[in-house]
Amino acid sequence: MPVRIFAALVGLLLAAVFTTATGNAAESPQMREDITQMVLIMDGPRDKNCAERKVVKTEVIEARVERWTLERCGKLVNYRVRFSPNSKGGTDFDVQLEK
């Protein structure tokens, strides 16, 4: 059973990485959902004792860069999301834990 869960998470992660959407995150509900899922997946292993996670805030911090704030069991954790245009006319994103 754990192998199936891991495989499902990897599949979701890969789908989010290679998602293409037009416009920016604010204009695309699908892109926002993909980023939310990516943040939640990336944060999962950071505190295995916490099952309560949700994105509580997003903000533009510079051109093509947003800060996504996640609440993890009462603690705020920031992720930086960078957007870049792709060759298909859409937008790709990269999510990293903010240090």
Q: Where are the domains of the chain?
A: 2-97
The model's pLDDT over 39-58, given as tens digits with 9 standing for 90+, comes to 999 998 888 899 999 999 99
Q: How high is the pLDDT of residue 26?
A: 52
pLDDT of residue 21: 35
Residue 31: how many other CB atoms lie within 10 Å: 24
Contact 42, 97 (CB under 8 A): yes
Encode pLDDT of 74-98 as tens digits.
999 999 999 999 999 989 999 999 9
Cα separation, 30 vs 59, whole angstroms? 18
Arch. (CATH architecture) of 2-97: Roll (3.10)
pLDDT on residue 27: 62
Residue that is written with structure tokens 């869960």 in the block: 5
Q: What is the pTM of this model?
A: 0.71
Positive or negative, the Cα torsion across 8, 9, 10, 11? positive
Q: Beta 91-97 vs 65-72: how paired, if at all?
A: unpaired
Is the predicted pLDDT of residue 4 greater than 60, yes or no?
A: no
